[in-house]
Amino acid sequence: MRHEILTLVGKNCITVADGQKVYELIYPELLADRPVELDFAGVKIFAAPFFNFAFGQLLRDIQPENLNRLLKVFNLNQVGEQILKLVIENSKRYYSDPDFSSRLDQVITEQACSL
């Protein structure tokens, strides 16, 4: 199944809500072992919160090898590619290393409590 991100989200992929919208669209397909194609043609601005919610949380339930096999991304500019790569690497570590995820959760909780 192919999805046009410009139509779904718009030319700015920056918010958690937009990332969650993409996640909810593609997660059931990927979990069912069906390929998904995402076309970013026309999208100009990217931010990590979007990618964290759209892609990062996929690795909680889907093995990296399966995600690489099933999810294809097209027309992502260089900035988007760099952010996506970083988010995927961080998510792999977060979901595979309990010590790392525990420490990260603790830091986030401490920072949230200090606000």
Element spanning 49, H or E = helix 48-54
CA distance 83 to 104: 19
Share the mean pLDDT of the chain: 88
pLDDT digits (tens, 9 = 90+) for 35-87: 999 999 999 999 999 999 999 999 888 988 999 999 999 999 999 999 999 89
Domain ranges of the chain: 2-113
Which tokens hold the place of 74?
A: 């097209």
Global pTM reads: 0.83
pLDDT band at residue 1, thresholds of 50, 70 and 90? Answer: confident
